[in-house]
Structure 1
């Protein structure tokens, strides 16, 4: 075997090994778990190696309910999932007993949830009110629609849906529990066991299977609310002066291709006009003809 062939063969084998590792890692992220304070302190680094996504509890009931509690690990779990790049939704166990109560519970749930959640879930499995359960569900949904554009998912167990004849077709999807067999009601995500195992969790955990991948994947799309977008000055301040809040650079051109010198934080500058780069970003042109960012994170008036 000549040297060139050895090198080519070595590169090929290395590439194949890397592809195998990558495929194995990707393939291993197939589990879907819902978690709460009852799973204790989750090792999210380990869990992230297996999780496709997680659903994290925020609350059980709401103020006024005898057994109301905010999940003590809601922020710990949300921050852990986010840190290790596990997409997650959040759910609230509902105990509403009227339309007004359902609206209040939706508002409180939303306030207590993480802004990084990709979707929100109504956990509807506890009947309290004397009125129409459907009217409570509808009230929760309409209230949440006014608060967020993120997907809203209906959760319950098979028997509850059948007994109360719940219509959840106006939600962005459904997640139904039934441990004996696949649910006989419409579902996009099936919670099939309460005795699952997951790396990073010492005890049992609920696990679910995807039934409709298109619908479930739509819940995981990153909302614009998850990505911090810079806010720009779009016009020259009345004073025509701005102050740098961080160290920045000035450039010779509006497209920032020719960098000149650094400008220290706290420097006052006089602005001539606002122009936009070829990609649409706003720039300040200074009275010396040079350009700096108009991003409010870096400059203020």
Structure 2
């Protein structure tokens, strides 16, 4: 075998150049931005060259709130981030005014979120109800735990946490805003400015930096999809009613071979029994004799 030094040298230099380009691109992706419809049309091709992570808004409040709106760019931004390889989470600005309202807002937020989101954020900075703000936060968290196994993150600004004495230790992490200095509240991610700049985004944008990189990086891990073993209701609830939290189908048989109709999230159904498929999955039998899943990710009591 003849050893070609020129060829090997060429291959080595090519590999070195590729490695240099790859590492320099990776090193330039340092910014963490949260975006919404207020950033307009984002050029994700450009933004992806500097964005390490993105956090995308889904909604502001919920139905019944005077200023409720679904973010008009939530799907466009999620698609852009996915296309150009920017890992992202999603957040909902909360305006809940009761425990029941907090649970509903969680269900609606989850339903409107993108399946590609690595985690979900409760944006809790608007005091509206007359009851305990902590009870609303706990209700939102409890409802989301029933819907997803992805990380759940608490967001607020430093002073709000202090004034309302919010305990968010049961969340999977915290994201705290304070533009004058590092937050005094416990924070894994610090939103340090609302006047940041990112290539591909016109005007100002919120930027954050990590205070606990191992925790924050864990939120964005690709393996954080909803792949956990399903948890089921194994008994008929006392009310004998369940509410659908994500669009599902109604079936004529317990093994889900004969589909009847699609059921929209938010619909409440009467149930009379719990049974199991031949594969062991729990099903609710409806009062009309048909079946739906008893998976807690899709229905709640």
- Give the TM-score, by structure 1 length: 0.72
Residue of structure 2 in register with 1:132 after alignment: 132
Mind listing any 5+ residue stretches in structure 1 that lack a counterpart?
228-301
Cα deviation 1:68-113 (Å, max 9, x = unaligned): 0000001111111111111110000000011111011000100010
- Match of 1:114, SS? coil
1:231-258 Cα offsets, whole Å, 9 max, x none, are xxxxxxxxxxxxxxxxxxxxxxxxxxxx
**SS of structure 2 residue aligned to 1:142:** helix
Secondary structure at 2:150's aligned position in 1?
coil
Deviation at 1:8, TM superposition (A): 4.7
Mapped to 2, the partners of 1:156 and 1:186 lie a distance apart of 11
How far apart in 2 are the matches of 1:224 and 1:61? Answer: 26
Question: What aligned pairs does 1:1-301 form with structure 2 within 5 A after superposition?
Answer: 7-223=7-223, 225=225
Are the counterparts in 1 of residues 150 and 224 from structure 2 also a CA contact under 8 Å?
Answer: no
> Does structure 2 retain, via aligned residues, the 8 Å contact 1:151–1:172?
yes
Larger Rg: 1
Q: Structure 1 residues 162 and 123, CA, compared in 2 at 3 Å: closer, same or farther?
A: same
Change (3 A) 1:213 1:224: closer
Give the structure-2-normalised TM-score.
0.72
Cα drift, residue 225 of structure 1 = 4.0
Report the secondary structure of 1:131's partner residue: coil
**Are the structure 2 counterparts of residues 118 and 157 from structure 1 closer, same or farther at C-alpha, using a change threshold of 3 Å?**
same
1:125 & 1:224 partners in 2: Cα distance? 26
**Greater mean deviation of Cα atoms: 15-24 or 136-145:** 15-24
Q: Secondary structure at the match of 1:217?
A: helix
1:10 to partner: Cα distance: 3.9
C-alpha distance in 1 between matches for 2:89 and 2:70: 16
Give the direction of change, closer, same or farther, for the CA distance of 1:167–1:47 in structure 2 (3 Å limit).
same
Q: Distance in 2 between matches of 1:172 and 1:30?
A: 22
Q: How many Å separate the matches in 2 of 1:28 and 1:128? A: 41
Shift of 1:13: 3.2
Pair 222,8 (structure 1): closer, same or farther in 2 beyond 3 Å: closer
Q: 1: CA distance between counterparts of 2:226 and 2:52?
A: 18
- Alignment root-mean-square deviation, CA: 1.6
2-side partners of 1:158 and 1:96: how far apart?
A: 20
Instruction: Provide the aligned length of Structure 1 versus Structure 2.
Output: 225
